[in-house]
Amino acid sequence: MRGAAIPQSLTALQPLATISRTGLSQSRQALKGVVRGSARHASTVEHSSLLAPELIEPGVILRGYSGKEYTIQNVLQDRQNRQVYLARCVNRFYHVKRIDDITNIPIRADEKMFVLKNLLEKDYNYSLPLQLRFNQSPYLRALRDTVPEQNMFVNEYLTDHLLNFAFKNVSLATHKRILRDALRGLATLHAQNIAHLDVKANNIMIDYRETPEGIAVDRVQLSDLEDSTHIPPGQALHVQVGNELWRSPEAHVQGAVGKPSDIFSLAIVVSV
């Protein structure tokens, strides 16, 4: 497994069927989301618990559960219920550097870039056991480490997302490979009755290299699993989920959302 190793104590998980989505963030709770056929209702959360933590300044070093240290480089996203950072993890014994083609940040040959996501505590606690189940999938950008004190997930950094990559001059075969691998990632989730709920072009991450022969794609992974939810067969989630440009009709009106909603969103990605 690439990245920081997840201790075995964290992988002894309860069956997904026993996990209750009581950790829905307030943005979903405000929509009064319920699962049809169950007794789950949106819970009440104190307003103070909804306040996003202060932004972490560049240069701050965070220690992961694995013991690895991550140095914050910059803020990638700042939302009410989620903050996303670019960070680097360095092996201190080497000093050779290169310049990242996308971020223009000097990178030592021995270091790797990571994406750190700070979540609300309830979202973190719900999503942690779910994400650990997919660490071995090559088609999902799954968990590589955590920073528990910050309710933070650590994911590998990939070069770019499909929304940008689509404008590059690549072959039809490359585009097909990207969509195929994204579908394989979605199928991996659906096989365990988990709906992604936020399928869109900028959640399909692509690791690629510029070569003399052209662009070489190394990996394609479906990302942003933090909103993914286990939905038992015959049930549905009644919330407005996903980005408005990519969501399904039922998601727009808080109808019965589930795995078919993901397929509709992926169809939009394929068609644009």
CB 204 within 8 A of CB 267: no
52-152-18 Cα angle (round to 5) = 105
Q: What is the pLDDT of residue 249?
A: 93
Read off the pLDDT band of 15 (50, 70, 90): very low
Q: Mean pLDDT lowest for which of 44-58, 118-132, 196-210, 254-268?
A: 44-58
- Segment 191-248, tens digit of pLDDT: 999 999 999 999 999 999 999 989 999 999 999 999 899 999 989 888 888 888 999 9
Is pLDDT at 26 greater than 50 in this prediction? no
Q: What is the pLDDT of residue 145?
A: 95
Average pLDDT, the chain: 79
Q: Alpha-carbon torsion 155, 156, 157, 160, what sign? A: negative
- Segment 71-129, tens digit of pLDDT: 999 999 887 768 999 999 976 544 445 555 555 555 555 688 999 999 999 999 999 99
